């Protein structure tokens, strides 16, 4: 599978992915959890432009041990548009994950899954391209709605879109805002929550995502 280059082509691909019955995945002990994220130049406002410099990082963590890191430089494929994030970020995120010397069992992405106009956000699309189970982790939902869960670690509440639970608010740490967790490629909601809690270890944001963000920002700073 390749990345579409235009919105109408991407919409067709997303519709196909949403209807695909991928084989379910379940985590095993000693899970290697990966994450990837991309950052763009500071100071720009608006939707950005195609060709914006981009720095993407990927990491793999097993327990408390870092297994692998990778950082790549690339460029944005398009301006940002809701529901079409894959056009902007897909290719450079794929490049970062493929650059890892050791791959993960499951991949966290700063993107949505079924919480999407066509039920196939970037987290799901990226998993299909890489043939990896994926989970989306964002600070807020895209379209879905739901009340926050109790202020207790591990508490969750559904995020609902058109009557369907497409994700969950998850309280990874008491006293902080919950995260929006999105089942994506080959993962269901229970599995997605299990993976995010395993990767968080008392922090609000899962450690692999925190590390990938630091790596990407460091690469951006070094490029000045």
146 found inside a domain:
yes
- Residue 25 falls within a domain, yes or no? no
Q: Is the dihedral of CA 12, 113, 191, 166 positive or negative?
A: negative
Span 207-224, mean pLDDT?
A: 96
HSE-up of 159 (CA within 13 Å, CB side)? 26
- Structure confidence at residue 44 as a pLDDT band (50, 70, 90): confident
- Residue 87 within any structural domain of the chain: yes
105-147 pLDDT tens trace: 999 999 999 999 999 999 999 999 999 999 999 999 999 999 9
Q: How far apart are the C-alpha atoms of 39 and 211, rounded to whole Å?
A: 13
Domain of residue 63, CATH code: 3.30.2170.10
Domain range for 66? 30-222
In the chain, beta strands by DSSP E: 32-39, 53-62, 65-75, 106-109, 134-138, 156-161, 164-170, 179-183
Domain total in the chain:
1
């Amino acid at each position: 599978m390749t990345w579409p280059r235009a919105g109408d082509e991407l919409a067709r691909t997303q519709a196909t992915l949403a209807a695909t019955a991928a084989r379910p995945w379940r985590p095993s002990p000693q899970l290697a959890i990966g994450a990837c994220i991309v950052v763009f130049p500071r100071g720009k406002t608006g939707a950005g432009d195609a060709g914006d410099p981009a720095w993407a990082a990927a990491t793999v963590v097993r327990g408390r041990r870092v297994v692998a890191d990778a950082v790549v430089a690339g460029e944005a494929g398009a301006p940002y548009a809701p529901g079409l994030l894959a056009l902007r970020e897909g290719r450079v995120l794929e490049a970062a994950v493929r650059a890892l010397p050791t791959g993960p069992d499951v991949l966290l992405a700063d993107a949505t899954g079924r919480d999407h106009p066509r039920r196939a956000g970037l987290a799901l699309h990226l998993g299909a391209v890489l043939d990896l189970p994926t989970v989306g982790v964002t600070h807020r939902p895209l379209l879905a709605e739901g009340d926050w869960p109790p202020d207790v670690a591990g508490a969750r509440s559904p995020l609902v879109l058109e009557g369907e639970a497409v994700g969950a608010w998850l309280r990874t740490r008491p006293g902080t805002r919950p995260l929006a967790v999105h089942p994506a490629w080959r993962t269901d909601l229970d599995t997605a929550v299990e993976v995010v809690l395993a990767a968080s270890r008392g922090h609000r944001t899962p450690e692999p995502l925190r590390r990938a963000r630091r790596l990407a920002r460091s690469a951006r700073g070094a490029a000045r």
